Structure 1
Amino acid sequence: MSIKVEQLTKVYGTQKALNNVSFEVNNPEIVGFLGPNGAGKSTMMKILTTYLEATSGNAQVNGHDVKSSTKEVQQSVGYLPEHNPLYLDMFIKEYLKFNASVYNIDKSRINEVIELTGLTPEVHKKIGQLSKGYRQRVGLANALLHNPEVLILDEPTTGLDPNQLVDIRTLIKNVGKEKTVFLSTHIMQEVEAMCDRVIIINKGEIVADKKLSELREGKVQTVIVEFDYRVEDAFLKKLPKVKHVENTYGFVYEIAFDTQEDMRSHVFDFAHDNNLKILQLNQKNASLEALFRELTAN
């Protein structure tokens, strides 16, 4: 077990950032830690990397307790924080050599991580001359420098352009073939593109912990309907088993139902009873985004 969290709570003053959180992460596995801003993602990352201490509960990384074995945890974890701290006046190799000396590892590892993270074309530059995408690569190279079993990445793709996104996603997926990768994000597309499993947190509590395939196959379904006239959401919410109604544009509505039963006949009957004409009526599989919205709406 690479990461084990048991009944973890973190309180800031009177606010509970984490409330009795428990989960486990295996090796190798890429797990997306998903939640809205302020849900507790960064707090969890900082506890797992020993930068913060929990108020109560326990956490282990690679079998080491984050409270009593902080040095062992730090030696076995590669961490990329949300705001990647870099020495901008240093050259890439200079920066990595400095960190290699901190970990007391062979300098030959520097060339390995430079090649692994695709930094070779920019290796002659100072970090301050690099684009945001290449700075993220430097951060990942530094996190991988001591060849840790677990990578903890906090918002690793924030602020990247589409090309940089693809490169970083590919890099993380390749690393995840042999290591545990635990990454936080509030972007559903990132989880779908990279992760095997998703843990969703909302207001400091875990609201879902499943394989991505299981979430996609959940019982929530979405029906897309277009009427010939505007309908108040409140009326549509009177349909059986409705979870969410959204007027996407014009007279088109997306209605989420908490059931596997095909609800299109109910929508058709609703239109007939209210003298509405249906211009289109389709069913689509619930996306991770729709499920996320349902689980974090309140």
Structure 2
Amino acid sequence: MTLPQPLLKLEQVSRRRSGRPAVQGLDLALGRGQVLGLLGINGAGKSTTLAMIAGALAPDSGRVLLDGQELAEQPALARRLVGWLPERAPLWQELTVGEHLDAHGRLRGLKGAALKQAHARIVERLELAPLERRLAGVLSQGQRQRLGLACALVHQPSLLVLDEPGNALDPVQLAALRALIREQAAAGTAVILSTHVLAEVTAVCDRVAILHEGTLRHDDVLAEHDHAALERRFFAIATTKAAA
């Protein structure tokens, strides 16, 4: 029986930042519809890993494959297949919410009727209609996060990459974010959720990977969403040195 090709595959990916190794020899694969929780303390290499997956950084060595194609050789793949929400949503202060959605749609190849439909769909799904004409520069932090998420989703990506998406969200908004992640996975979208909040991982993820000092120390299914077991494993890894 032939196993399905993973949507995302990292093969021995390494990257140095400021002269120091940020990620070392990372192997990782993710299939369609899977939700991977990426954990690690500050400086573990999570944001660097996500930036390479999203095509914003190139690895110094190794390969990032999207849908079987090497991202370094097909950089337009990231714009077409990936929706990325960095820890701080990159917004233009002088543009309105609606203008952001149109701009991000165009950057990903949408135009005409397809762009209008995508715009209307994401505005309805994330309840952004009251904010459409508001400038990004006057949005609250929680509203900025919602807009950043909308921009990442406007083109219906195959892979959704989220770096601390729960920042500044209230409990109701966090519940809505969880529902959205489950909805995306059910529709076949692969999701990577990087967060410091273990409860967010156990609530929505079916796999968890733990980075420590730039190396992958754990990658396994999240059995029965066991928060206590994950907490013990994370603490054990975070308080030890990476293998030499």
Superposed pair shares fold, TM > 0.5: yes
Bigger share in helix? 2
Note the alpha carbon deviations across 1:127-168, whole angstroms, 9 max, x for none.
333332222121111111112111111111123232322222
> Secondary structure, in 3 states, of the residue corresponding to 1:60?
strand
Equivalent residue for 1:297? 239
One-letter amino acid of the structure 2 residue matched with residue 297 of structure 1: T
Report if the CA contact (8 A) 2:9-2:28 is conserved: yes
Superposition map of 1:259-278 within 5 A:
none
Counterpart selection for 2:190 from 155, 159, 180? 180
Between the aligned partners of 2:146 and 2:156, the Cα distance in structure 1 is 15
1:46-85 paired onto structure 2 within 5 Å: 46-85=51-90
Aligned mate of 1:189, from 185, 193, 199: 199
Give the structure, 1 or 2, with the largest relative contact order (CA under 8 Å, sep 6 or more).
Answer: 2
2:3 corresponds to which residue? Answer: none
Deviates more, 1:203-212 or 1:104-113: 104-113
**Does 2:127 correspond to 1:118?**
yes
* Equivalent residue for 2:106, pick from 101, 108, 129: 101
Counterpart-to-counterpart distance in 2, 1:67 and 1:214: 37
TM-score, normalization by structure 1: 0.72
Name the CA distance, whole Å, in 1 between partners of 2:191 and 2:84: 10
Q: Distance in 2 between matches of 1:290 and 1:81?
A: 28
**Alpha-carbon deviations, 1:38-91, whole Å to 9, x = none?**
000000011111111111111112222121111123211111111101123322
Equivalent in 146, 152, 168 of residue 161 of structure 2 = 152
CA distance in 1, matches of 2:175, 2:230: 20
Instruction: Assess, with a 3 A threshold, how the Cα gap between structure 1 residues 93 and 12 changes in structure 2: closer, same or farther.
Output: closer
- Is the 2:37–2:192 Cα contact (8 Å) retained in structure 1? yes
Where 2:211 maps in the other structure, the secondary structure is strand
CA contact (8 A) 1:47 1:66 kept: no
The residue type paired with residue 169 of structure 1 is: R
CA contact (8 A) 1:4 1:24 kept: yes
Cα distance in structure 2, aligned partners of 1:96 and 1:286 = 40
- How far has the Cα of 1:214 moved from its partner? 6.8
- Who wins on radius of gyration, i.e. which is larger? 1
Alignment of 1:1-298 (within 5 A): 1-105=6-110, 106=114, 107-178=116-187, 179-213=189-223, 216=226, 286-298=228-240
Residues 1:118 and 1:172: Cα distance change in structure 2 (over 3 Å):
farther
**Superimposed CA distance per residue, residues 266-286 of structure 1 (whole angstroms, 9 cap, x where no aligned partner):** xxxxxxxxxxxxxxxxxxx84
RMSD between superposed Cα atoms in Å: 1.8
Amino acid at match of 2:82: V
Q: Does the CA contact (< 8 Å) of 1:117 and 1:171 recur in 2?
A: no
